[in-house]
């Protein structure tokens, strides 16, 4: 019979493994062995395998925990702050807490055979909180009306990449702030202007992958590029089929 103390120890060990795994994946990428994660967590390899039989299950749990933390942050802001302040504060939380976690998009899209009901439910909760905060800020007049939840997700992914690319964190956060300010009504472009070489500046500004937000090369002719590569294209197709 398992005692209450044993169950509490198991919960603590699971939390240690998740924290260590999140740090290890962010620092070393997905190739970090489970033995290294066990060492960081201060537990034996057997403890890791009891909770997470393989790396895919562990990755799913790490991502789910990350999203759960963001959902809780969004709900707190929704309850404590005015709509516009809550919305932009939540976006900064997403950007800062996603630092070093650029592997998530490729991992989640790479293998559709994962047993992912927990992850899918968590993603749905995240999108509900994000959408509620966005719509509340729009009703309050703090965010331009032509922005949707998918736009916000793509923008925050790009901002997280911007922050990760700058060694000077304050400078990176300044760029993030400038980017997010583009969501405010005062930043709405009402007059078409040529930017350079006959290209519309707005075309260059929105040239990003519809799935992960990565920058794309604008083509002067032909069909517009929508995705950065096969992984995001397949992920978008699976999302459409699932819907």
Residues 113 and 3 in one domain: no
Q: Is residue 225 part of a domain?
A: no
Residues 21 and 47 in one domain: yes
**pTM (two decimals):** 0.67
Lowest mean pLDDT among 68-72, 77-81, 183-187: 183-187
Q: What is the pLDDT of residues 177-223, one digit of tens each?
A: 899 999 999 744 444 444 444 444 343 334 466 666 565 555 544 56
Q: Is residue 227 part of a domain?
A: no
HSE, side-chain direction, 13 A CA sphere, residue 194: 4
How far is it, in rounded angstroms, from Cα 29 to Cα 52? 18
Residues 59 and 41 in one domain: no
Q: Is residue 146 part of a domain?
A: yes
Q: Is residue 107 part of a domain?
A: yes
Residues 86 and 138 in one domain: yes
> Which pLDDT score is estimated for 130?
94
Q: Is residue 175 part of a domain?
A: yes
Residue 78 has pLDDT above 80, yes or no: yes
> Which pLDDT score is estimated for 3?
53
Q: Is residue 132 part of a domain?
A: yes
> Which pLDDT score is estimated for 63?
85
pLDDT average, residue stretch 13-42: 86
More reliable by pLDDT, 191 or 172: 172
Could you tell me the CATH number of the domain that includes residue 41? Answer: 1.10.10.60
Q: Which of 145, 160, 188 marks a domain boundary?
A: 188
Residue 91 has pLDDT above 90, yes or no: yes
Number of domains in the chain: 2
Residues 1 and 49 in one domain: yes
Residues 181 and 70 in one domain: yes
Residues 34 and 71 in one domain: no
DSSP string, the chain: ---HHHHHHHHHHHHHHHHHHHHHHHHH-TT--HHHHHHHHTS-HHHHHHH-SSHHHHHHHHHHHHHHHHHHHHHHHHHHS-HHHHHHHHHHHHHHHTTT-THHHHHHHH-TTS--HHHHHHHHHHHHHHHHHHHHHHHTTSS-TT--HHHHHHHHHHHHHHHHH-SSHHHHHHHHHHHHGGGSGGG---S--EEETTEEHHHHHT-B-TTT--B-PPPSSSSPP--SSHHHHHHHHHHHHH-
Could you tell me the CATH number of the domain that includes residue 152? Answer: 1.10.357.10
Residue 157 has pLDDT above 50, yes or no: yes
Residues 42 and 121 in one domain: no
Residues 61 and 92 in one domain: yes
Residue-number span of the structural domain to which 27 is assigned: 1-53
Residue 37 has pLDDT above 70, yes or no: yes
Residues 30 and 110 in one domain: no
Which tokens is 243 given? 């819907």
Q: Is residue 8 part of a domain?
A: yes
Residues 156 and 133 in one domain: yes
Q: Is residue 203 part of a domain?
A: no
Residue 117 has pLDDT above 50, yes or no: yes
Residues 39 and 125 in one domain: no
């Amino acid at each position: 019979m398992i005692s209450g103390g044993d169950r509490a120890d198991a919960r603590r060990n699971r939390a240690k493994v998740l924290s260590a795994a999140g740090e290890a994946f962010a620092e070393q990428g997905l190739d970090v062995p489970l033995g290294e994660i066990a060492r960081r967590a201060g537990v034996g390899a057997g403890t890791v395998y009891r909770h997470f039989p393989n790396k895919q299950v562990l990755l799913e749990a790490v991502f789910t925990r990350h999203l759960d933390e963001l959902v809780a942050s969004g709900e707190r802001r929704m309850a404590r702050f005015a709509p516009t302040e809550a919305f932009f504060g939540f976006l900064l939380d997403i950007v800062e807490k996603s630092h070093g976690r650029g592997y998530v998009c490729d991992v989640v899209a790479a293998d559709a055979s994962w047993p992912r009901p927990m992850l899918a439910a968590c993603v749905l909760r995240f999108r509900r909180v994000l959408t509620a905060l966005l719509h509340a800020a729009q009703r309050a007049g703090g965010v331009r009306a032509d922005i949707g939840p998918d736009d916000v997700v793509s923008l925050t992914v790009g901002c997280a990449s911007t922050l990760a690319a700058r060694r000077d964190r304050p400078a990176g956060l300044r760029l993030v702030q400038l980017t997010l300010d583009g969501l405010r009504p005062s930043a709405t472009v009402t007059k078409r202007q040529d930017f350079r070489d006959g290209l519309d500046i707005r075309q260059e500004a929105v040239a990003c992958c519809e799935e992960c937000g990565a920058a794309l090369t604008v083509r002067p002719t032909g069909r517009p590029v929508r995705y950065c590569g096969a992984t995001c294209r397949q992920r978008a197709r699976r999302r459409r089929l699932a819907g």
